[in-house]
A and B are shown apart, each in its own frame.
Chain A
């Protein structure tokens, strides 16, 4: 069910590829960079492991946002995996868009070296969703 929880802090689930984004998040941690507690990661071997059903499930189980993050196109450890991810997630985003909830799903490319980029992406996402959520609750 889509039900807004009492507290106003969004819950964000991120699927992070082991070889890029998860490594970037490790690095971000080691560098003591901060990001909101609401962002929680699930480690997957490759972004292509992310079945769109997981994203749908997370949304209906109450996540305010979901992101799928993998290596930059062309850099996939599994050679081509993220090209398939791109098609699937782009299609899923289109589907969410048709239900006026496009802002809930995002696709990021973050390489292992891009800790700063990882922080920027998740923080921006968190803040945007939080803002929308609070506006919705006021109305």
Chain B
């Protein structure tokens, strides 16, 4: 083995607290070390040339660069190796700046620390093998589950970009909940026309296939090539999709879960959704007394829905406004916990409805009772701490969003996770809000948590862009730091398979060993740490590398 060690002064940054000369001299004596040099700026042009020359003239097969932290200049130094026809994964970076010279003041101690850090790199690199960034072919097609606004907007983008799109909808018609809404706040447009516009964009595009009244019955394969089985009215259909967008929306909360609200027992107790559909046909007296209940099925720990549904406050405000507009002398009272008028313009809208005469009472509604003359609401005014009992002609329940009914089915079929509220869980709430744990599967719209129409459309488009980025080239590179199995050592206990978060490990029933689906592996190394016989290893971080690093850092080997 011919190892080259290059120790950077980084101008004064390393040199002033680390004796770099002493280090380069020390390593010259080491077996397997062909070159040991220190240089003022290894990352400079002459510095890079120095490395290239050493590789080419001395025939180095390992390069150790002791300088700044590995996340800096990483690609640049890899390129240096590539240009000299050396596999870039035979490079080892040792951080003696951020982790040594900058964090300690004592030159002697720092030099000793740097020596051990370089030693650890040297021992670890001895186990390095050339690695390849593997190219996998991916199918340029997307499966979109759910034909609501999110699904349609994702389909519109992907098909426009020339990607094959399979849009699957459980219902006979596309459009989801939005289709049934008469008035989308604040646009004032009806839902059907929004949906029709979106469908119009899709029709005529050859690369869009729409399956209505269709469900998914099978899902196999890995990122880039998922094998999907659809259950269509014409029978079973199989297709291959490179990636998936789940946009199955939400279910309206069913107020029957809270029996004290008496929903379903009287026509005069309706939900905001029913109000939206039937506002014109309601039978009401000339001066109707209307109660609106906020947060029905939201922010309610007792029924396991602690989250805010985000859309229902605006819906409640709209009911109040509609009532006041139609019946000038009506008595409209809103019972709320907090008014959270989330979207842009929401807060102003809240003020407008107050000005129109809708009363807002901060209250806990205890129960609703039916009486011959009306509906009696009993509760506690939480601002004044008084109980009240009032009679109304109409009670509108501002219902929240519940997870979609098919959440568990889809989650188990696609092997993705649900969050504590049973919506689909994103890979990272801030950094990867559209991804799931499984590569190539994205979530869009309110199936990942309550969203309004605008947010759902944006979410759908964003997921589509992410998916497009993954699949557009027709191939993708897989990071070489993935796990591999030594079938001779594998006992087939399937512990790694059970633990694997990405579900990238598959068991071979015949050979009784596991193997790794390379395209799906995330490279975390959990399987390696789980396997008692280390039959499965993570490339780049195999056991003996880390073991030797430990030994070198402790000067025990």
Contacts and interface: CB of A to CB of B under 8 A. Distances in A.
- Are A and B interaction partners? yes
Interface of A: 11, 13, 23, 25-26, 28-30, 32-37, 40-46, 48-54, 57-58, 61-63, 75, 77-81, 84, 88
22 contacts: A11-B553, A26-B71, A26-B99, A28-B98, A29-B99, A32-B103, A34-B103, A34-B104, A42-B120, A42-B546, A48-B524, A57-B550, A58-B554, A61-B556, A62-B554, A78-B502, A78-B526, A79-B428, A79-B437, A80-B437, A81-B501, A84-B526
B91 interface: no
Task: Pick from B103, B112, B528, B556 the residue with the most CB of A within 10 Å.
Answer: B103
Nearest to B529: A51
- Chain B interface size band reads 35 or more
Nearest to B110: A37
Contact of A78 (B501, B529, B530): B501
A11 B554 contact: yes
Q: Which 3 pairs show the lowest CB-CB distances between chains A and B? A: A29-B98, A49-B525, A78-B524
A29 B541 CA distance: 24
A45 B98 contact: no
A51 B113 contact: no
A33 B529 CA distance: 32
Contacts of B408: none
A44 B546 contact: yes
A118 to B, nearest CB: 11
A49 B529 contact: yes
Contacts of A11: 553-554
Contacts of A30: 98, 102
Contacts of B192: none
A80 B501 contact: yes
B462 to A, nearest CB: 19
B117 A49 contact: no
B428 to A, nearest CB: 7
Task: Pick from B117, B523, B524 the residue with the most CB of A within 10 Å.
Answer: B524
Contacts of A42: 120, 546, 549-550, 553
B116 interface: yes
Contacts of B526: 46, 48-49, 78, 81, 84
Nearest to A62: B554
B481 interface: yes
A25 B70 CA distance: 12
Contacts, number: 121
Contacts of B120: 40, 42
B499 interface: yes
Nearest to A16: B99
Contacts of A29: 69, 95, 97-99, 102-103
B56 interface: no
Given A29-B103, A63-B554, A80-B437, A49 B541 contact: yes
Nearest to B530: A84
Task: Pick from A46, A52, A84 the residue with the most CB of B within 10 Å.
Answer: A46
Contact of B112 (A37, A54, A62, A63): A37
Given A81-B524, A88-B529, A13 B553 contact: yes
B345 to A, nearest CB: 33
Interface in B483-514: 499, 501-502
A81 to B, nearest CB: 5
A54 B547 CA distance: 7
Contacts of A26: 69, 71, 95, 98-99
B295 to A, nearest CB: 26
B422 interface: no
Interface in B513-556: 522-526, 528-530, 534, 538, 541, 543, 546-547, 549-551, 553-554, 556
B109 interface: yes
Contacts of B98: 25-26, 28-30
B105 A78 contact: no
Interface string B120-133: 10000000000000
Given A25-B99, A26-B98, A78-B524, A51 B550 contact: no
B553 A46 contact: no
A35 B523 CA distance: 31
A52 B109 CA distance: 29
Contacts of B523: 45
A113 B126 CA distance: 33
Interface string B414-435: 0001000000000110000000
A26 to B, nearest CB: 5
Given A26-B98, A51-B529, A46 B69 contact: no
A78 B435 CA distance: 12
Task: Pick from B106, B481, B530 the residue with the most CB of A within 10 Å.
Answer: B530
